[in-house]
Amino acid sequence: MKRQNEREYDRIAGSRMSKMKGGIPLHVALSNSKSITLRNKIKRMGLKGAHIDDLISLIDEIGIQSTLQNQPLGVRFATIKREKSKPKIWKPGS
């Protein structure tokens, strides 16, 4: 029953992504303390450049993934930015 409820709530969370205007933007707040420490370390070292931006982005992604890995599917999907869904309405005569 717990898994069944989880799936139901996942579906609801998925259908509500529109409320967030197309998913929650990825943010360091979704990350974890280890990646934020690494992020700040690189900043303090004064490292700059495209390759450093890529590295920070990778650190953020790893942190966000570790935060989300134990979350239900609906929550994980809600972090994906996508177009706002329209309500599905039955059209008689269609």
Partner 1 sequence: MKKNQFPPSITNLLLQEGQRFEKDGVFIEALGTGIIPIVGTARAGKTSLAYTLLDYVIRHTKRPVILDSFPERVILEGIPEHWKGRVSNTAFDKIAAVDAPAVWLVDDTGASFNSRDAMSSNSKTLSRVAGVLSHFGGGMTVIFTTQLLSGVDVSFFRYTNISPIIRYVDSDLIAHERKEWKPSVIEGQYQLKRVDSGYLRNFFYSVNDEQLCPAPFPEWLDKKINPMKADLLSRPMRYHTTEMKEQIIGKKKQKRKKRVDVIEKTE
A 10 A CB-CB count for 28 gives 14
Residue range at the interface with partner 1 (CB under 8 A); choices 9-17, 34-42, 50-58, 62-70: 9-17
A 10 A CB-CB count for 31 gives 22
Residue range at the interface with partner 1 (CB under 8 A); choices 3-11, 43-51, 56-64, 66-74: 3-11
Residue 50 vs 89, nearer CB to partner 1: 89
Regarding 12 and contact with partner 1 (CB under 8 A), the answer is: yes
Contact assessment for residue 52 and residue 18, using Cβ atoms and an 8 Å cutoff: no
Q: DSSP labels for 3-31?
A: HHHHHHHHHHHHHGGGGGTSSPPP-GGGS
Interface with partner 1 (CB under 8 A), residue from 24, 27, 32, 90: 90
Residues in contact with partner 1 by CB under 8 A are 1, 5, 8-9, 11-12, 15-16, 87-90, 92-94
